[in-house]
Amino acid sequence: QVHLVESGGGLVEAGGSLNLSCVASGLTFNTYTMGWFRQAPGKEREFVASNGWDGDNAYYGHAVLGRFSVSRDNAKNTVYLQLKNLRTEDTAVYYCAAPRLARAFSRSSQYSFYEHWGQGTQVTVSS
């Protein structure tokens, strides 16, 4: 059974930074693309970033491009999301996700690509 656990969320002032982590279990982590999404109250879940299984490929949502950075440590079964220059509109619950298929990366920005989701971690950016 795949299990994803996010951590690192919190309250930060606009312009600040946060580092999120997601520890995965129940899958061969180094063969799976991992994704980050976020969902603000009253809004649909939004793609943030994805990271290919070998760490060589990354893709970002337009809203976070140039401010957020995704990385992974396959030895620790962990994917990271570094959030910089945060804005109030970045306030949301952030989720990590894993797809059903290993060694897949195309369509990694699409919600339907993913089958497994963590419980989320709240990020709140104050003005």
Q: 19-30 pLDDT, tens per residue?
A: 999 999 999 999
Contacts of residue 56, Cβ cutoff 8 Å, sequence gap at least 6 = none
pLDDT at position 40, please?
97
pLDDT band at 66 (very low <50, low <70, confident <90, very high): very high
Query: Which helix (H) or strand (E) segment is 71 a member of?
Result: strand 68-73
Q: 74-108 pLDDT, tens per residue?
A: 999 999 999 999 999 999 999 999 999 999 998 99
Residue whose pair of structure tokens reads 């309250």 in the numeric block = 11
Residue whose pair of structure tokens reads 């709140």 in the numeric block = 124
Query: 90 by DSSP, 3-state: which?
Result: helix
Please give the structure tokens belonging to residue 83: 């959030």
- Give the pairing of strands 34-39 and 58-60: unpaired
Is there a contact between 83 and 68 (Cβ–Cβ < 8 Å)?
yes
pLDDT at position 55, please?
84
Provide the residue count of the chain. 127
